[in-house]
Structure 1
C-alpha cells in the first residue's frame, strides 16, 4: 500500500477516535473501507507514537470503544479536540509568511505551547501526515534584510504615523526616497504589500515590502480617509497589481467548466451556463499582467469575448508564443521583439 494512503487513513482514524462517542474497531474498518486487522495495525502506530488514545472496555472486559483520554482534553491550553489540534499543526505552514511580521513571535509562541501536549513521535507522525493531507503556502517567508522593516511598518500602522522609506522601483531600476502614510498591510501570493498614500505621487500606491531598502517612523501623524476601504481597493485587481478597470467576459470549454465554477476566482465573478456545456464567466477587474497570465494559462480552453482590446492583446501574445515555440527555432534565440503582455503592463506599484 502506498505510504500516502496509509497516512491518510491514520489521519481519518484519528478523527473517528476523537468523536465524543469514540469508535469501535469494526466501525472504523467499515467507515474507512479496510480490514479490521488494518485498523488494529494503525491503532498500534498511533499508540506507539504517543497519541493520547485508549480502548474503553465494556462490561465483560472485552475491547470496546477507542477514545481520546480525558487527561489530554483537560491539559490543552485552549479547548480543542485532538483532531482540531492535529489539523492546526498541519496548517502551520500557511502562517509562515507572517514570520517576518510583528505577529511572528506570538504565533510561534502559540504553536510551541500547543506542541508541548503531544509526544515527539506523535508530532513526527503529524508531520508525515501533513505531507499527504496537509496544506502548504505558496511562496516563502519574507527574508532579511527586508524583514527588519516589519517592526517599523507595524508601528507606523498602529500609531498612524508617516513612514519614510528608501524604495527600489523595479520598473525604473532605481532607489528613491519618499514619505508614505501606511493604510493597510496585505499578504498576497506569498508576498507582503503595503497600501499607502505616497506624498511624492499624491495618490494611493502599493509598495512591495521586499523592495524597501531603509525605513524610519516619522513623528508626524496622519488620518486615513474615512471612505477608503482597503479590501475594496485590493479587490479591484486580480492579485496585487492594478490597472484600468474593465469588464471581462470569457467562455470556458466544457472540459474545464466544472473546475472554473467550483472556485472563487474574484469577488465580482458571475457565471452563466451555455447550452453546449460551456461556461461564461464575467468579472470586473483591472486589466493587468496578472489577469492576462491567468487567462493565457487556460490555453484554448478559454475564449475571451470582451473587451476587444484584451482579446486582441492576448491574440498578439499567443502569436508571439507560437512563433517562439516553432519547431525550427533554436531555443533561447533572441526574437528581437517585446512580448505583448510586457508592453501593455499597467500597474499601481509606485514607480
Structure 2
C-alpha cells in the first residue's frame, strides 16, 4: 500500500536509495573524524585523499558541499583567509563519539581528569577537556547523581602534591609532530643549573610523564646515549625538515623500566636488602618494589625484605622519606648515602635558628 502526501510518496524503502543514503552518511561521518580541532585545519583536497584511502572515493566538489552542510549542524569553522580553505572543529567543541558515553565510562573520565591534573601540563590536559565536560554532563543527568559525583571521587597524589609545570601548546604540538613524523628538532633549552640557555639538535624518541613533569627523551646531535629534557624548560622548538637519526635497538618502555628516568646512580640493578617496620611491610606486600621481592619476619618485629631494583636517586629519596621505618642493609653504597644524608639533615636541625 502506498501513501501520498504533498507530492511525497511513502511506502517500502527503495534499496538503492537506502544504499546511497548509507554511503553518504558513512562518508560524512568519516569526514568529521578527519577534521582536526582548531588551530589545526584541513582542506577539501586532503579530505578527498584521506577518504579515498579509507575506501570512500569522492570528489572535491562533493566534500565541499558536505562541509557546508555539516557546518550547519556541527561546530565547524572555515578559515577562508587564504586558499585552500581550511576546516577545523571549534577549539571547545565537544568530542564526537558513538555509541553514547555510559555512566561507568563517564566516571572513568572524571577519575582520569582528577589523576592527570597532578601529572600532565595544563596545555596537554586542555585537549581532553571536551571529553571531561561530556562526562560531567552524563553524570549530572544520571538519576540521583545531580551535583554529587565530585564529592564521591577524589584522587590523592603520591608524595607532596605539586602543580604541573606549565608548557605552551605550541611546544607540545611541535613535539608531537616531530615524534609522529620521525623528524629532528632544533631546541633552545635552559638547564636547571645553567646561567644561559643552550642550543641543541635533538632526535626525539618519546615522551615520559614522571610525577608532575613531562620529559622529552632523545639523543643530541650524533651521540647515542639518550637524554631527558624537561619540556617546560624548552624555550623554543622548531621541527626540522630533516629525518631524525634512529637509535638502533632503542625501546622506550625498556628505557623507563631500566631506571634511567629515575636518574641512575649505578648502571646495573642492585640487590636491595631492607629492614622495614610492620606497617611498611604490609604496604609493600600490597604494592611490591619488584617481581622478585621476598620478605621474612625478624625477631625484633620488623621484616627483612630483599628485591632487585635499579639504583636511582628516586630510590634514595624514597628510603629517606620513610625515615626510621626503613633501614638499608645493603648495598653498602646506598646505606652510606642514606646515613650521610641523615647526618647532614640532623646538622641542619641542630643549628640554632638565627
User: Which TM-score bucket, shorter chain as reference?
Assistant: 0.5 to 0.7
Match of 1:216 in 2: 238
Q: 5 Å matches for 1:82-121? A: 82-96=103-117, 97-98=119-120, 100=122, 104-105=126-127, 107-119=128-140
Q: 5 Å matches for 1:199-278? A: 199=221, 202-237=224-259, 240-245=262-267, 246-247=269-270, 248-265=272-289, 267=290, 270-276=293-299, 277-278=302-303
Shift of residue 262, structure 1, vs aligned partner: 1.3
Instruction: Indicate whether 1:160 and 2:182 are aligned.
Output: yes
Change (3 A) 1:98 1:169: closer
TM-score w.r.t. length of structure 1: 0.62
Instruction: Indicate whether 1:312 and 2:302 are aligned.
Output: no
Between 149-158 and 253-262, the greater mean CA deviation after superposition: 253-262
Change (3 A) 1:139 1:162: same
Change (3 A) 1:91 1:112: same
Shift of residue 195, structure 1, vs aligned partner: 0.8
Match of 2:40 in 1: none
Task: Find the aligned partners of 1:113 and 1:323 in 2 and give their Cα distance.
Answer: 54
Q: 1:238, 1:286 within 8 Å by CA — same for their partners in 2?
A: no
**Offset from partner CA, 1:93-133 (integer Å, 9 cap, x none):** 2233446456742x222223333335479453211222xxx
Shift of residue 263, structure 1, vs aligned partner: 1.2
Task: Find the aligned partners of 2:171 and 2:237 in 1 and give their Cα distance.
Answer: 6
Shift of residue 176, structure 1, vs aligned partner: 0.6
SS at match of 2:262: coil
Q: 2:103, 2:138 within 8 Å by CA — same for their partners in 1?
A: no
Shift of residue 293, structure 1, vs aligned partner: 1.3
**Offset from partner CA, 1:75-96 (integer Å, 9 cap, x none):** x954665345335324422233
Bigger RCO (CA 8 Å, 6+ sep)? 1
Change (3 A) 1:259 1:205: same
TM-score w.r.t. length of structure 2: 0.62
Runs of 4+ in 1 over 6 A off after TM superposition: none
Q: 2:121, 2:214 within 8 Å by CA — same for their partners in 1?
A: no
Change (3 A) 1:200 1:225: closer
Task: Find the aligned partners of 2:291 and 2:246 in 1 and give their Cα distance.
Answer: 26
Task: Find the aligned partners of 1:287 and 1:113 in 2 and give their Cα distance.
Answer: 41
Shift of residue 175, structure 1, vs aligned partner: 1.2
Task: Find the aligned partners of 1:298 and 1:118 in 2 and give their Cα distance.
Answer: 39
- Unaligned 5+ segments in structure 2 are 1-96
Instruction: Indicate whether 1:301 and 2:322 are aligned.
Output: no
Instruction: Indicate whether 1:190 and 2:212 are aligned.
Output: yes
SS at match of 1:148: helix
Change (3 A) 1:286 1:173: farther
Number of residue-to-residue matches in the alignment:
248
Match of 1:284 in 2: 309
- Unaligned 5+ segments in structure 1 are 1-75, 334-351
Shift of residue 303, structure 1, vs aligned partner: 1.6
Change (3 A) 1:257 1:208: same
Match of 2:6 in 1: none
